[in-house]
């Protein structure tokens, strides 16, 4: 099993550009989430999904869109990149047994907006 | 105010020492709690779930105190490889999303 796969690992964008961060999991997990991690701020939830076709906003959703057309994929779209979106982005997934297993994280995408 | 608060440290301890981390959570409705470990520039990895009865995994012991709304992690016989940031986590009210503390940094020295 590959687990949670994120692409790209690194990306530099210019202000105003758009892009999609890809996330795929092969564990048939229902729950998927996107977090961003910034120095001094910890991990903050952007969007999450409890199954195909169902998404909801987290703590910091502005400037990001998500969709969940399949169980496996949960892409994160930056609509118009801003320097404030420079961060490390983590995708995570879990099955229904969150109590015991929590979330499994991808290796992250390091995004710089200039 | 974050829902989960931790002392950021750093905690500098010698090999073989016992070290304890605490964190507090603000949402009394939180049902599940975890400790994650994060190495520098890596993704967080689940260290252990925290159960009401307390649980132990080798050198690691986690405790939950619902009355005081705090969670603890005890590491015995610290190893150099334990050096990392430890994240305290509570499941949010949505039931599916996790709320992370900012992490406690541990450095184990020879």
Per residue, the 3-state secondary structure of chain B, as one string, reads CCCEEECCCCEEEECCCCEEEEEEECCCCCCCEEEEEECCCCCCEEEEEECCCCEEECCEEEEEECCCCEEEEEECCCCHHHCEEEEEEEECCCCCCEEECCCEEEEEEC
Which residue has 């490889």 as its token pair? B81
Residue whose C-alpha is closest to residue A77's, from A24, A26, A23, A18: A18
Look at residue A29 and give its three-state secondary structure: coil
pLDDT, position B104: 95
Q: How confident is the model at residue B3 (pLDDT cuts 50, 70, 90)?
A: confident
How many residues in total does chain B contain? Answer: 110
The pLDDT of A35-63, averaged and rounded, is: 93
Residues of A in contact with B99 (CB under 8 A): 45
pLDDT score of A47 more than 70:
yes
Using CA atoms, how far apart are residues B46 and A112, in angstroms rounded to an integer?
Answer: 27
Mean pLDDT of A9-30: 96
Contact by Cβ (8 Å): B61, B54: yes
Q: Verify whether the Cβ–Cβ distance A102 to B34 is below 8 Å.
A: yes
| Residue A100, H or E segment | helix A98-101
Best of B40, B95, B96 to disrupt the A interface (most A CBs within 10 Å) is B96
Segment among A73-82, A100-109, B93-102 with least mean pLDDT: B93-102
Query: Per residue in A52-79, pLDDT tens?
Result: 999 999 989 999 999 999 999 999 999 9
Residue B39 has pLDDT above 90, yes or no: yes
pLDDT at B53: 83
Q: Do A33 and B101 touch (CB under 8 A)?
A: no
């Amino acid at each position: 099993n590959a687990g949670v796969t994120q692409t790209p690992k690194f990306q530099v964008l210019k202000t105003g550009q758009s892009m999609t961060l890809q996330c795929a999991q092969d564990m048939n997990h229902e729950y998927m989430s996107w977090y961003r991690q910034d120095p001094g701020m910890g991990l903050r939830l952007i969007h999450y999904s409890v199954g195909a076709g169902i998404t909801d906003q987290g703590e910091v959703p502005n400037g990001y869109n998500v969709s969940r057309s399949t169980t496996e994929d949960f892409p994160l779209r930056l609509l118009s990149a801003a320097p404030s979106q420079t961060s490390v982005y983590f995708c995570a997934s879990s099955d229904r047994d969150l109590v015991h297993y929590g979330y499994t994280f991808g290796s992250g995408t390091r995004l710089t907006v200039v | 105010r974050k829902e989960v608060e931790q002392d950021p440290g750093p905690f500098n301890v010698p090999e073989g020492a016992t070290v304890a981390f605490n964190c507090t959570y603000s949402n009394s409705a939180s049902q599940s709690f975890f400790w994650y470990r994060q190495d520098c520039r890596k993704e967080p990895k689940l260290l252990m779930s925290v159960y009401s009865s307390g649980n132990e995994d080798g050198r690691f012991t986690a405790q939950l105190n619902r009355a005081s709304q705090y969670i603890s992690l005890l590491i015995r016989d610290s190893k150099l490889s334990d050096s990392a940031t430890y994240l305290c986590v509570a499941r949010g009210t949505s039931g599916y999303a996790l709320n992370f503390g900012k992490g406690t940094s541990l450095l184990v020295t020879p």
